[in-house]
């Protein structure tokens, strides 16, 4: 079939790989080159985070695929993926809340296969093969002096492994992989609606991420897409070997993370923020935020937490918009079933990418 995919971020390109391998003729239409999408800015590691309702199988299928890619040295090199040890520290005051998260609230979820950020335990994935999740006390306890909030004391550590993708490399890898099955036509342009494309293709797949807020007229009483700005600082810090994050207590709203990446460059992404951007955002003119000022704060926090970051070379500030819905939307359009929506992945686009692509293939079948 002739299929148009709108969007060339991690979702559009993962869908392209699956559809190209199934033998379809593809056209990818995108306002931005892949290298300028939100996906390219992403940290990006596997781990459900800042995301509405989704199906666990989407995350699990993606974990399996990414783990497989990152485990084969040649594929890991080509794709900029690596298996990285993550360390997350908890303060004394975070313990009880954390226990609740870890053990308590999963029962509130009606369908155990489905997860919503507010209801379910955030570490449901800790038993997956390869993750190797552990929790241990920090002896002695550790103190970090932050420039903005002063001394914080940490008493325990979560440790696990995840796959990190250096996204500029990984997006190129996805495109090359998709094109290895058959040639793909690319059109670099913005669209204002789908009707023209539906007239010329058997199916149209909407993978426009945050662009869907403008493009799709959803019923505001049942669906609401929020745009959460993520700002990060890229630092070349070859000595940063493990990923580090703080996301509980005072760090819940303004998390701190350092994610080291391998690939065409060895660098780390320092984050982060989740600032809601209100109003009608035009994809062509994104950021109504003072990026530099906020990135300054992010950098100094991360430099306080890691000597390797402090001693590294600060390279650039980056910004992207996480498309956050109450639920990730993967379904046929209720009016025209030849239009398939696949957007709203929030802070988990990489994490849900292969599972989402698999669902799109099922819908087409």
Interface residues toward ligand FAD, by CB under 6 A: 6-12, 29-32, 37-39, 41-45, 190-191, 207-211, 215, 230, 232, 271-272, 283, 320, 322, 343, 345-351
Cα first-last separation, the chain? 11
* Nearest distance from C-beta of residue 351 to ligand FAD, angstroms: 4
User: By CB neighbour count within 10 A (0-12 exposed, 13-18 middle, 19+ buried), where does 241 fall?
Assistant: exposed
Residue 218, CB-side half-sphere exposure with 13 Å CA sphere: 21
* Nearest distance from C-beta of residue 257 to ligand FAD, angstroms: 8
Cα separation, 293 vs 289, in Å, equals: 9
| Helices then strands, each counted (H, E), the chain | 11, 16
Residue 185 CA to its chain's centroid (Å):
26
Cα separation, 358 vs 116, in Å, equals: 21
* Nearest distance from C-beta of residue 18 to ligand FAD, angstroms: 14
Backbone angles phi, psi at 262, to 5 degrees: -110, 155
* Cis peptide bond N-terminal to 272, omega within 30: yes
Q: Which residues contact 306 (CB under 8 A, 6 or more apart)?
A: 237, 240, 244, 258
> Based on CB atoms, which residue is closest to ligand FAD, 42 or 308?
42
For 192, the token pair is 């204002």
> Based on CB atoms, which residue is closest to ligand FAD, 31 or 312?
31
> Based on CB atoms, which residue is closest to ligand FAD, 38 or 306?
38
* Nearest distance from C-beta of residue 246 to ligand FAD, angstroms: 15
* Nearest distance from C-beta of residue 345 to ligand FAD, angstroms: 4
> Based on CB atoms, which residue is closest to ligand FAD, 8 or 82?
8
* Nearest distance from C-beta of residue 38 to ligand FAD, angstroms: 3
> Based on CB atoms, which residue is closest to ligand FAD, 133 or 190?
190
Residue 276, CB-side half-sphere exposure with 13 Å CA sphere: 9
CA distances from 314 to 82, 110, 233, 347 (A): 22, 46, 7, 24
* Nearest distance from C-beta of residue 229 to ligand FAD, angstroms: 7
* Nearest distance from C-beta of residue 280 to ligand FAD, angstroms: 13
* Nearest distance from C-beta of residue 128 to ligand FAD, angstroms: 15
> Based on CB atoms, which residue is closest to ligand FAD, 91 or 347?
347
From 321, 341, 349, 345, select the one nearest 216 (Cα to Cα). Answer: 341
From 126, 144, 143, 146, select the one nearest 135 (Cα to Cα). Answer: 126
CA distances from 28 to 7, 31, 173 (A): 7, 10, 16
> Based on CB atoms, which residue is closest to ligand FAD, 156 or 245?
245
> Based on CB atoms, which residue is closest to ligand FAD, 93 or 196?
196
> Based on CB atoms, which residue is closest to ligand FAD, 255 or 312?
255
Which residue lies nearest ligand FAD, judged by its C-beta? Answer: 211
């Amino acid at each position: 079939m002739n299929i148009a995919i709108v969007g060339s971020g991690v979702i559009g390109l993962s869908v392209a790989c699956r559809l190209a391998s199934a033998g379809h003729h593809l056209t990818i239409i995108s306002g931005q080159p892949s290298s300028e999408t939100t996906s390219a800015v992403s940290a990006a590691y596997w781990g459900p985070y800042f995301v509405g309702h989704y199906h666990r199988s989407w995350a699990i299928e993606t974990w399996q695929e990414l783990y497989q890619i990152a485990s084969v040295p040649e594929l890991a090199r080509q794709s900029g993926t690596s298996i990285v040890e993550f360390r997350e520290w908890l303060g004394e005051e975070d313990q009880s809340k954390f226990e609740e998260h870890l053990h308590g609230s999963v029962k509130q979820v009606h369908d155990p296969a489905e997860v919503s950020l507010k209801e379910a335990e955030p570490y449901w994935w800790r038993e997956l093969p390869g993750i190797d999740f552990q929790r241990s006390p920090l002896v002695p306890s550790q103190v970090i002096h932050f420039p903005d909030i002063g001394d914080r004391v940490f008493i325990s550590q979560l440790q696990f492994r995840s796959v990190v993708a250096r996204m500029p490399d990984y997006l190129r890898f996805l495109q090359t992989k998709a094109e290895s099955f058959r040639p793909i036509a690319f059109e670099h342009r913005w669209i204002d609606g789908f009707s023209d494309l539906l007239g010329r293709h058997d199916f149209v797949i909407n993978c426009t991420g945050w662009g869907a807020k403008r493009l799709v007229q959803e019923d505001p009483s049942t669906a609401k897409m929020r745009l959460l700005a993520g700002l990060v600082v890229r630092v070349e810090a070859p000595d940063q070997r493990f990923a580090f994050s703080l996301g509980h207590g005072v760090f819940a709203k303004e998390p701190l993370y350092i994610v080291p990446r391998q690939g065409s460059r060895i660098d780390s992404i320092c984050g982060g923020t989740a600032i809601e951007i209100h109003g009608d955002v035009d994809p062509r003119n994104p950021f109504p935020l003072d990026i530099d000022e906020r990135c300054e704060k992010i950098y100094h926090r991360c430099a306080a937490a890691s000597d390797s970051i402090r001693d590294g070379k600060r390279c650039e500030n980056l910004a992207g918009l996480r498309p956050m819905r109450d639920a990730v939307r993967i379904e046929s359009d209720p009016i025209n079933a030849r239009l398939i929506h696949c957007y709203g992945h929030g802070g988990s686009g990489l994490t849900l990418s292969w599972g989402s692509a698999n669902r799109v293939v099922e819908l087409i079948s």
